[in-house]
Amino acid sequence: MSLDFDTARLPNACLRPEHDQWRAQLRRFFDREVIPYAAQWDEDGHIPKELWPKSAEVGILGLGYPEEFGGVSEGIDIWYTIILNEEMARVAVGGVGATLMVHGIGLPPIINFASDDVKAMVVPPVLAGTERISLAITEPGAGSDVAQLTTTASLEGDHYVVNGSKTYITGGMNANWLTTAVRTGGDGAGGISVLLIPTDVEGVSRTALDKKQGWWCSDTATIYFDNVRVPAGYLVGQENKGFSVIMNNFNSERLGMSAAMEAFSRVCLEDALAWARERKTFGKRLADHQVIRHKIADMKMRINATQAYLQLVCQQVQAGNESGGDIALLKVQCSQTMEFCAREAMQILGGIGYIRGSRVERIYREVRVNAIGGGSEEIMRDLAARQFGI
């Protein structure tokens, strides 16, 4: 058996023919509409706006969302989402998936906790790809420790008045809506609420964060709120109960990132092995040198273990037995596997891997954003320790 992106994937007894059809549909779409252009999009620092409605047409944006809003939910299980994250990883331009799919963290709080009027206003155009929504939680002085955020929202009549700022907001420069964590009460988690803030109202300004190590084509912003007036009806959930709204969102984000990181690892394996079979040193292929063969074997070993953990956690989620601790540890394992495989693949490729344009070079640049975003490795370990009563 020749190892590549597909053959390095472990068997999964949960997958049905419909999942294979979904994968084939996605692969055709990404091979036609994304992969030929993604590297240049990364160099250019942006993604064409046409990609959103195109993605909506093939069911990517609406996957798993209620059909009453234009989504596709009938018969959709967790494996459809895992497959989507895997196939986006083949593009090896992480900024594409991060920005194209940012509604995956911005929209669920609206669907789960907002009023019917707000849902009807926001969800259909986002799923159709004609408008965009982002999640605005992180601040210059508060990241993973959400309870310390300082952006305030004071109720004045029938409007909240918002002041403060958010940073590292994926999709923030082009978002029409921001699902925003604000402080409406006292200190700590008990004083947090969530507001839906339109970006076209007076007092909202944005600055692009375009000097990034990776995810160059990802739309990332710092956002400022200066006496921004937001209708009270845009409150998402209950006032001062927003911490649970935010926490409800994190596990699915981390699981999606985990699936992508495992798949990025397989991209590194595929490209490293292809080069090792082609490149010759000291009269024989790189793949014939024991040290190189052991690198590849170690990559496959770690990928196997990571996939097995990913499958187990997904089965737990699908069965309704979600474990926040295991999801946190899975994310750590996936980021460490991605880092290991990116490093070893870069070593095998040598100089050609260091030159911009290869998938391994791009993935190597994107290790840290995956290891930090959605909850850093350190935060994830501590979260798991608390979940397991340590």
Task: Give the pLDDT band of residue 246 (cuts 50, 70, 90).
Answer: confident
Distance separating alpha carbons of residues 105 and 257, to the nearest angstrom: 11
* Confidence band, pLDDT 50/70/90 cuts, at residue 194: very high
From CA 341, how far away is CA 147, in angstroms rounded?
35
**Per-residue confidence (pLDDT) for residue 357, from 0 to 100:** 87
Radius of gyration of the chain (CA): 21
What is the pLDDT at residue 169? 96
- For residue 147, what pLDDT is reported? 77
pLDDT tens for residues 326-350? Answer: 999 999 999 999 999 999 999 999 9
Q: What is the mean pLDDT of the chain?
A: 95
CA distance 221 to 165: 10
77 burial (CB, 10 Å; 0-12 / 13-18 / 19+) is middle
Q: Give the model confidence (pLDDT) of 351-370 as tens digits.
A: 999 999 899 999 999 999 99
Residue 131, token pair as written in the block: 């408008």
For residue 176, with 0-12 CB atoms within 10 Å meaning exposed, 13-18 middle and 19 or more buried, which class applies? middle
- pTM of the shown model: 0.95
Those residues with Cβ within 8 angstroms of residue 120's Cβ, 6 or more apart along the chain or in another chain: 69
Q: How far is CA 225 from CA 34, 127, 142, 201, in A?
A: 35, 26, 16, 10
Q: What is the mean pLDDT of residues 55-71?
A: 97
* Interacting residues of 41 by C-beta distance below 8 A, sequence separation 6+: 47, 48, 93, 95, 96, 217
Domains of the chain, earliest start first: 17-128 (1.10.540.10), 133-240 (2.40.110.10), 244-387 (1.20.140.10)
- The SS3 of residue 53 is helix
Angle between the 242-278 and 290-318 helix axes, to the nearest 10 degrees? Answer: 150
Q: How high is the pLDDT of residue 1? A: 66
Residue 148 clears pLDDT 90, i.e. is over it: no
pLDDT at 182: 97
Cα 321 to Cα 324: distance, rounded to the nearest angstrom: 10
For residues 191-197, give the mean pLDDT: 97
Tokens read off for 314? 């997904």
Average pLDDT of the segment spanning 23-39: 98
Share of the chain above pLDDT 90, in %: 92
Strand ranges for 244-389 from DSSP E:
280-281, 284-285
pLDDT on residue 146: 78
Residue type, 61: L
- Characterise 357 by phi-psi region: left (phi > 0), alpha (psi -120 to 50), beta (else): left
**Residue 162: what pLDDT?**
98
**Nearest CA among 168, 134, 178, 105 for reference residue 368:** 168
